[in-house]
Amino acid sequence: MKRSKLVVIDDDPDVQDLLVGFFRPKGFELVTFDDAEEALKALTSTDDFCDVIISDLRLPKMSGVELTTALLEKGITTPLVIMTAHRSAEVALEAIEAGAYDFVVKPLHFPQLQVSVERALHFSRMRDENQALRAVVGGNDAGPMQGIIGKAPKFLRALDLAKRVSNSTAHVLVSGESGSGKEVVAKAIHQFGSRKKGPFVAINCSAIPENLLEAELFGYAKGAFTGAVEKRIGLFEEAGGGTLFLDEIGDLSLPLQAKLLRVLQDKKIKRLGENQTRAIDVRVVSATHKNLRQEVIENRFREDLFFRLNVIPITLPPLRERKEDIMPLSEFFLKKHAALNRVNVKGFSKSATEYLLKSMWKGNVRELENVVERAVVLCKGSSIDLPDLNFEEDMPEQTKASVEFMDGDMSRFVVADDKILPLDELINKYIVYALSLNQGAKDRTAKDLGVDRKTLYRRVREMEQSGNPIN
């Protein structure tokens, strides 16, 4: 996966070193500059030079405000985060008004800076994808259905339910495996409903450290904690009049669950470090890949919060249960990433199509998009072929086994010592294979095999009792 690239502009080498030391171990690529003029030359010389710019407000030859203006004049829309040593943020706010994405106050609170950078990256990715989507659909506005691809009955039922509840005030809980498109459905609820003119604000509850998540959600007052040198509104206020999407809600800590429950009941929030309550007007849509009913039973999720969130449950099917959607999605992702990468790739070969249709897609739509994106980038011809999709040296062993089976190597299943296996032994062998693909998850394996869960449990138990362990 491509590493995110940060440009740091600061005339203090110690600050440069601190930023490099913080971000580089986290997987970022960094380029540093001492003054803004040199950075501006580099940024204008190459398209997509970086993903986010972090710049000091006061620089020798050009201020952060002047840099912001110069970047926009040259058509560079890379998000810019301003660092300022001023306790009064008035000058930094000038940069925001000029077009900067965000600002942070020195001395730097690095986790807070990381959150700002991550949000800038998300903003940048969404903007680029929107541009690519417009290119794919020829610049036409496709309305609320834009970006939603699917004709599988289970998916259409989920989408229809999302449309029917979009104008209600009831909380919606979208459940489904990771990568199955939960945020797409949340956006559909927003776009179909009366709040579509308001903001759609999304946050992944598992991606932000717990000690910062509360501040992100509710905001904070100046001095509320170390690094809180200026007040900041939270996402509940930012999403006012619109929709707040809480992804991976099942990963919230129990104390934060209690605070969220209070907010949902009272429709009021209290910023960290303040006693004043503030009324909010926001539609909350939550999502999780976990079984929250089981989490409640095991005391990891509050029952009262679960019932509050689960007024309208929407369950998304995994991609392996949407076989008819695999190729339309693949073709859409091909057009999208061909436009983003400015390459002339137009389709899939027959072998590539067969591979896409037969793969298990444990990572669902997200995995499919990643595979197609990689194939688009590495493809040498005008269409994607099987070698562009199938990099066995990068695959885990269970995926290699899946590829072998799909490519027609049935002998290891049906033949032993040049003799055809008895049907009962073949069934046992295939059960072991299916369990290995699902990493031992019996419920999921039973569903994939189309048998009752109790039937699979009994079969596995008989195999183990006969001296044929499944591992």
- pLDDT of amino acid 393: 42
- pLDDT of amino acid 375: 92
Burial of 450 (0-12, 13-18, 19+ CB in 10 A): exposed
Give the other-Cβ count within 10 Å of 426's Cβ. 15
Determine the structural domain holding residue 17 and report its residue range.
Answer: 5-113
- pLDDT of amino acid 146: 52
Residues in the chain: 471
Mean pLDDT on 365-378: 92
Looking at per-residue confidence, does 300 or 112 come out higher? 300
Task: Tell whether 195 and 290 lie within a shared domain.
Answer: yes
- pLDDT of amino acid 130: 66
Task: Tell whether 225 and 162 lie within a shared domain.
Answer: yes
Task: Tell whether 274 and 155 lie within a shared domain.
Answer: yes
Alpha carbons 122 and 456: distance in angstroms, whole number: 43
Rg (CA), the chain: 26
- pLDDT of amino acid 397: 47
- pLDDT of amino acid 142: 41
- Asked if residue 151 is part of any domain, the answer here is yes
- pLDDT of amino acid 470: 61
Task: Tell whether 162 and 280 lie within a shared domain.
Answer: yes
**Final residue of a domain: which of 261, 283, 317?**
317
Task: Tell whether 309 and 327 lie within a shared domain.
Answer: no
Mean pLDDT on 280-309: 94
- pLDDT of amino acid 123: 83
Task: Tell whether 227 and 298 lie within a shared domain.
Answer: yes
- Asked if residue 326 is part of any domain, the answer here is yes
Give the least confident one: 152-161, 168-177, 226-235, 326-335: 226-235
Looking at per-residue confidence, does 322 or 35 come out higher? 322
- Asked if residue 121 is part of any domain, the answer here is no
- pLDDT of amino acid 139: 43
Q: Identify the band that residue 401 occupies on the pLDDT scale cut at 50, 70 and 90.
A: very low
Q: Identify the band that residue 425 occupies on the pLDDT scale cut at 50, 70 and 90.
A: confident
- Asked if residue 344 is part of any domain, the answer here is yes
- Asked if residue 390 is part of any domain, the answer here is no
- pLDDT of amino acid 407: 42
Task: Tell whether 372 and 424 lie within a shared domain.
Answer: no
Share of the chain above pLDDT 70, in %: 85
Give the least confident one: 226-235, 388-397, 445-454: 388-397
- Six-digit token string for 50: 């970086």
- pLDDT of amino acid 97: 81
- Asked if residue 38 is part of any domain, the answer here is yes
- Number of structural domains (the chain) is 4
Task: Tell whether 97 and 202 lie within a shared domain.
Answer: no
Mean pLDDT on 295-309: 95
CATH number of the domain that residue 227 is part of: 3.40.50.300
Mean pLDDT on 271-282: 90
Task: Tell whether 87 and 23 lie within a shared domain.
Answer: yes
> Does residue 198 have a pLDDT over 80?
yes
CATH number of the domain that residue 337 is part of: 1.10.8.60
- Six-digit token string for 30: 């960094």
What 3-state DSSP class applies to 29?
A: strand
Q: Identify the band that residue 398 occupies on the pLDDT scale cut at 50, 70 and 90.
A: very low
pTM of the entire structure? Answer: 0.59
Q: Give the up-direction half-sphere exposure of residue 152: CA atoms within 13 A in the CB hemisphere.
A: 20
Q: State the distance between the two ends of the chain, measured CA to CA, in whole angstroms.
A: 32
- Interval 57-107: pLDDT, tens: 888 888 888 888 888 888 888 899 988 876 555 666 777 888 888 888 888
- Looking only at the bridges linking them, the beta strands covering 232-233 and 219-220 are antiparallel
> Does residue 379 have a pLDDT over 60?
yes
Alpha carbons 368 and 427: distance in angstroms, whole number: 30
Task: Tell whether 418 and 447 lie within a shared domain.
Answer: yes
> Does residue 403 have a pLDDT over 50?
no
In 261-305, the DSSP E strands lie at: 268-269, 278-279, 283-288
Q: Identify the band that residue 136 occupies on the pLDDT scale cut at 50, 70 and 90.
A: low
Alpha carbons 462 and 471: distance in angstroms, whole number: 14
Task: Tell whether 222 and 326 lie within a shared domain.
Answer: no
Task: Tell whether 343 and 281 lie within a shared domain.
Answer: no
